[in-house]
Amino acid sequence: MHLLEMPPGGEAKPHYHEAQETAIFMLEGTAEFKHGPKLEHVDRVSAGDFTYILAGVPHQPYNPTDSVARAVIARTDPNEQESVVLLEEAAAK
């Protein structure tokens, strides 16, 4: 598990976790994330919300607000960055 702090306007690169499921509990603020094969879906999560991302699902979290977003993230592998695949890397294969 780890604590994610995403600043206002912050965003991650589009990616997926090849072999890890991800559970996210929002502690504070609001964030959004694109997800799906072409990042065609958008969901918004706010303090108190729980979301779950299956292994292999492309996603891109971002903070469209003027406040910090904080969340606790748990993955099914303690080496949580080991199976991260950036979408630009996946397209090059």
Tell me the pLDDT tens digit for each residue of 39-81. Answer: 999 999 999 999 999 999 999 999 999 999 999 999 876 665 5
Task: Note the pTM of the prediction, 2 decimals.
Answer: 0.83
Tell me the pLDDT tens digit for each residue of 13-29. Answer: 999 988 889 999 999 99
Residue with tokens 């949580």, as numbered in its chain: 80
pLDDT given at position 23: 95
Burial of 52 (0-12, 13-18, 19+ CB in 10 A): exposed
Say how far residue 13 (Cα) sits from the centre of its chain: 9
Domains parsed from the chain with CATH numbers: 2-79 (2.60.120.10)
Query: How far, in Å, CA of 70 to CA of 2, rounded?
Result: 10
pLDDT given at position 91: 53
Structure tokens at 29: 């603020």
Closest to 1 (Cα-Cα) out of 30, 22, 26 = 22
